[in-house]
Structure 1
Amino acid sequence: MLVAGVALIYGLQSPAANTRSVPATTAAAPPPPVGPVPAAFTELWRAPSPNTPVPLAAGAGVVVADGSTVSGRDAVTGRERWSYTRDRPLCTAGIADGRVLALYRNDEYCSELSTLGPDTGERGPNRTLDARPGVRLIGQDPVLATGPDYVETFRSDLVRTAEYGTVRALEEPGDQPRSGCAFRSFAASGDRAGVLERCPGEASERLSVIRPSGTEGDRPAFDSSAETGTDGAQLIAVSADRAALLLPGVPRLALYDRSGRGVGEFPVAAGARINVPADGVARMGADDRTRYWWTGGATVALDTATLQPRWTVPGTLGAGTRYGDRLLVPVPSGLADVDPATGAVARTVPVERDGWTGPVQVVAQGGLLVEMRGTDAVALGPAR
C-alpha cells in the first residue's frame, strides 16, 4: 500500500501528469519546392507565436508557440498537426539538431526543457537547465542557453558541456574565474560560445569565448577572455577562428582571432538606426558561405569564416533568407531580391503587411516563406 501511495503521489506531481501531448496522426505533407523568385508573395495564414524569437521552419512544417503550448502547423494551410502543452509558462522555443526545443519555467528559473519531433510532436529526451527568464537557445550541437549572469551549453544528447557565470551549486570553489559579471550579448557557432560581459572592477567590457568540448565540471575552458577596451559594444558573431564586435560610436566591426588578439577593424554602413537586441543576440541569417546580419537599418553580408563585411543593402527590416540561388531581404514594400554574392538588388517583390512597419525576420520553408512580425508568424506563398 505504501509503495502504491508513493507511486500515486509521484504520478500526480510528475511532469507527465501535467502535460497534454497530441501527436500528429498523419504523415506531414512536404511544402512546395523552391523555384524562381515569384512576381509577388501573398499571405497563406498567420498565428500568434510570441514565444518564438525567430520564425521556426522545422521538418516539413512550421512551429509556433503561444502561452504554454507549442504546436506544429502544416506549412501551406496552417492547420495544427500536433501540440504539446504544459501547466507552466513557456520561456522560449527553438530548433536544434533536427528537434524542437521547448523550455518551460519552474518558479524563478527556465528549467524544464522538452524535445519534440518536428513532424510528429512526439516527445524525445528532456533535461533540467538553470536558465533565467529572457533566455535564448542558440547554436547547434552544442546549444547555448543565454542569460543575464549565467550561460550553459549542451550537446545534441542534452548532456551539459559547460557552465559559466553565477552557478547555483558549484562542485568546487574557484571553478568559475569571475563573479558578479553582467552578460550583455551572445553568439555561438560550432564548438565556440561567445559572451560579452561587464565585470566589477574592470575598466571595460570583456569578451570571453568558451570552448565547450574542453570544459570539465564547473570549470569552463576558454579560447580567450580579455577586456576589449570598449564599453557599449555588441557581440555580433563567432566563427571557428574569429569573433566580431560592433564598436560604439561610428559603426565599425572589430575582429578578434582565436587567442583574443585584435586582427582589424572594418567600417560598416549600418544605416540610420542601430538595433540593440533586448535578448543580446544579433539578428542573423546564414548559408554555407555567408552570414547576413541585420544592423537595425541595413543588412550586412559577413564572410562565414573571417567575419569580414562583404557588402551592404541599406534600408532593410531584417537579415534575409536564401531562396534557391537568391537572397530575399525584408524591406518596407516587400522583399528585396538580392544576389547573395554581390549584394546587388534586382527588384522588390511586393508583400502586403497590413500596415506593419517594424522589424521582420524571415525564413524559407521550401518554396514558402515564414515571417515573424512582432508576435505573429505569417506564412507567405507565391501569388497566383
Structure 2
Amino acid sequence: MLYYMDYPYMFEIETTLKSKKGSRNNLNLVLTNSIASPSSKNIPTDLVKLNGIKVNKITRQEQDFVYEIKGSLSTDKLTIEIDKKTRIENMKNYLAYIILSLLFKKIYALDCKIVSFNEDFFKVIVPAAGLINVERDLKDMEFTLNHIINSSLDVKVNQNKDSYTINIPSVGQGKIFYPVPSNTAELKLAIIKSFEKTDKGLEITFQTGDKAYNYLLLKNKEIIEIKNLINYEGENIVDEINFTKRSLEDLKDELYDLKTNVYKYYLDLINEDVYEIDGKKFLTHNIKEIFIKDLKLMIDSFDADFKFITNPKDENSEFILKNSLEEIDDLDLIKELQNIYPFNYEIKKQYIYGEIKDEYRERLKELIDRYIYSKLNK
C-alpha cells in the first residue's frame, strides 16, 4: 500500500520518524510511508514540506521512504505537507500523458516517454517517429485526446501490492507510477503547445486543465459592450460600441453560471466562409446571428478593424469602427448585454467583417467547439 497512490487528495499527515542520519546540511530522515511521490525523472514531483522545512529529495528504500532536507529537527513527531495545487495539476498532466502513451502505442505501436515536466506543462518524446505526419497526425491526436476528455470516461485504478495499473474504456490499460484523476473530464481540455523533431525523436509539449484553457483564451482578450444597435430599412446605425480588455478570471464565475453557450456566436463565425478583400482575408457573418446570441468575448484572432456594411460586395457601403481599446472599470457586462436582445425585427444584408488568422481559425473551431460548448450547455 502506497499512501500517495491510494490517497492522492491527502495533503497533510502526521507521522513518526523511524531513523535519521547525516548532518545539518544534508539530513536523511527514514519514514515508513509517504503521501508524496518519490523523486524521479519519470513521474511528476510534489512540492513537499516536513515540519515546515522544504524537502529536497525523496527516495524509496524497500518499504521505507527517505526524506532529504537541509536543517535540523528537534522532535520525532513529523508533519508532511504537500502543495495541493501542484499535486492536482500534476495528476491531470500525468493522466494526459498516460492517455497519449496508450494512443501512440495503440495507433502507431510507438512508445511515449517523459522528458520534463512541471505543474504548467509536460514534455514527452516519441522515439522513432519517422512515420508520423507531424501536422496531420498530432492534430488528430489532440482531437482524440479531447474527445476522450469530453466523453467523461471513468479511470479505473487496479492495485496488485505496490503495482498500479489503470483501465480506460475504449482507450486501453497501462501501468502508472503517480496518482491520476478518477474521470477524464477532470482534465477539462488538452492542447499540444509545441512540437519539434530532433535526432532523438519527436518532442511534444502539452498542457491540460485551466492552464490550457487560459493559454488558449486569456491572451489579449477583448470584451465588447454594445450600448445600442438600431436598424431600419436595411440601414445599420451604431450609437456606441466600446471595447475593453478584461481578464477572463474576473468573468469566470459569471460565465460558468450561464446555462446558454456564451461562445456560440464565435463558433458560428469560425464556421462561415472566409472572403478576401484587397488581399486580406475576412470572415463574414450576419450581424443578427451574432448579437442575438449571448455575446461575451471577442478573441484576439479578430485583430483588425471591424466593419459594418450594408452590402458585403460593396466596400463603399461600409461603416468602419476603428479598433480602439480602452479600459472600462467595473463593467457589469452581463447586465448590459441583457438589455440589448432579443431583437424584435429582422436585420437583412447586414454583415460584420473581422480579419482572422488562419492558424487560429481551425484550432479554435476544433478545441473550443468541443470543450466550451459542451461545458456551458450541461
TM-score by length of 1: 0.25
Indicate the structure with greater helix content: 2
Q: Whose Rg is larger?
A: 2
Indicate the structure with greater strand content: 1
TM-score by length of 2: 0.25
